[in-house]
Chain A
Amino acid sequence: MANQDFPLIFERSKEGRTSYSLPDLDVTEFNLESELEEVYIRKAPPELPEVSELDIMRHYTGLSNRNYGVDTGFYPLGSCTMKYNPKINEDVARLEGFSNIHPLQDPKTVQGAMEMLYDLQTSLKEITGMYEVSLQSAAGAQGEWTALMMIRAFHEANGDYHRTKVIVPDSAHGTNPASAAVAGFDAVTVKTNEKGLVDIDDLKSVVGNDTAALMLTNPNTLGLFETEILEMAEIVHGVGGKLYYDGANLNAIMGYTRPGDMGFDAVHLNLHKTFTGPHGGGGPGSGPVGVSKELEPFLPKPVITKIDNEFIFEYDRPQSIGRIKPYYGNFGINLRAYTYIRTMGAEGLKKVSEYAVLNANYMMRKLEKEYELPYTQHCKHEFVLSGSRQKKLGVRTLDIAKRLLDFEYHPPTIYFPLNVEEGLMVEPTETESKETLDGFIDAMLTIAEEVKENPEIVQEAPHNTIVKRMDETTAARKPILRYNK
């Protein structure tokens, strides 16, 4: 099937085919046409495909063959924690008692589901060292925004309406400044120093009585632990600001340190990263938020609590920021995370971080021979290389990424964080074996040789994929966003 158009489901359609069987209508038919003004009755049916059940399976199986997941191969995509997705999680999420329950049923009839949520909350409180946790946020970015809205509400409850600024490091995830903006703040950047850490002097110069919060990832997006975290907390707290923890990188520190112990007032977690909810090709995720005692009254509604052995949804929360999502968060993803935590326990989660960090350091030391390593200290769960040496030879990081596809690897995150020239951000995770790491290292070293000996093969990569490099410029200039007959 290589190198030719793969048909769209609409192109497989043939008038008169179907793969859906409705039960026969067993009640009286009503004259629907007479009820509604004609203008509200749809004239032309939507052009959905008309296909048989086998057509569907062939189509989507074909598409899945044109896709690459963790189950296909190594996926060292930095900052995304592409670890193995356990199969028991999927089985449990499909149990009727979990998958087939309605969010508006009487809570008395769904005590098992609520018990799971309550237990998960309790576990996440312990893992993060926070006072309370809400499981409402649908994803990391929504968690960031939720926590910032709580911080805003906290300041406003103190009559403090002038804290308009949220500080983010120049190495931060793009969602940080975006979430700050959506929560109504101005994002202010703090610089990274020559060691790859937040520049304390610069931080001192940007904080002030207009500071609402500092958003920080620790370890940061360079994979480095912010060793001066307590001093940073003191600086921000000193001016009355709050400290926010982006939990995208929690996989590095479980059982070693906790955001709550580092002085953070609010955190979000990405359950689809650290806690194995699958990424699903882009989602759904889950982004719970943990907060300090001070911020607890502002949690989104409702809050799950336990009274006399009964689990209830609490709505009477006068200082709450309100609802952030219909119902109670992405339950199905929370359930997968819970299943994972029950599988690993405290001992297992600490090993997760130990091995994630060991794997990353091992790869980093092997690869620094051929690739520039801007920050040379031990890393945590990920590290960032620079393709600057290769760039001098006319090969860009994008080319190296595309060449990796020929070796059947998913490339690392590229051109991020923004403060590393030609960045290559590698996160192996703990679920990969040494053989897999060695295979990838070999491929990277081979490519480094190719760059010196035969750069065209890298510049023109990929060579073995079902499609070659895409014309993204035309896609953006003259967008075609849907199929037309």
Chain B
Amino acid sequence: MLRYIVKRLLFMLVTLSCTIIFVFTLLEFTPGDPAKIILGQTANEEALEAIRLQFHLNDPYIVRLGRYFVQLLHGDLGTSYITRQPIAGAIAARLPLTLRIAFFGILVGACIGILAGTISAVKQFSIADRVLTFISLFGNSAPSFWTAMLFVLIFAVKLQVLPATGSYGFKYWILPVATIGLQCSSGVTRMTRSSVLEVIRQDYIRTARAKGQVEWKVVISHALRNAFIPILTQLSGEFCGYLGGTVLVESVFAIPGIGNYVLDAVKKMDTPVVLSGIVIICAMCSVIILVVDILYSFIDPRIKATFGFGVKKKKTAKAAGGSK
């Protein structure tokens, strides 16, 4: 097990480094002179040159890329062009807000989605199935910012039971979490439905029923468990998407999360903030994917077997060679 985790961790680090290099290279093509973005268009040449020296803008691409990696290893995410503040502190203050909303949204979405998807798969072509499919397709087609505004209109403007904007406590999280939960649940419902439908025709389900197993146990421990891998993939994908994608929800509810932070930077051409923001989002994603990969092997032991195969074979070969 440990070997598997270490292997996945190394793989994750390689992918993440490639992603960082890729994003760094992309942002190299940002038009405009960074020094002028920092000081404004009217700054004189001497001041511009001083700023270029301060931010190491004159160094070649490779040197700056290397320096960025060294900085990252020291936990330094660089300095913002606009505020001249270290980015790490700003992100540390904003990341929990985004993570909280995304996490609870996904949790709500997973609970609703798995329940609804299982119901509609077990009762395929029933009225419940049709209604649930309709609702989930609706959730899939409605833009999150529009759903968010609909919630604000109903709960904050008309009923006046929940606050519309800000982030000061539990009450303020309900609407954003509900928005993400609704959208997430629709995808999970569809995935659960198709995945359970695929499993429920397998022979072992028929065997379980033939043995006289109670129907709800057949569904939960035989069908759902075997259908869970694609659902988990869907959930991890949604979580990753929401780390950056909450920007839409954040901007409706005026939540100072990481999405809004990067968005502001994009509008002001504050490249270091964009770079570090995206790197942090990608890093979070890699961690989520890693955790999910490890969860896979708990749900389905066959996966661990296939992944560890190459390593194990080599090891046994070596051991065999050593014993000779």
Does B bind A? Answer: no
User: Which A residues are closer than 8 A to B by beta carbons?
Assistant: none
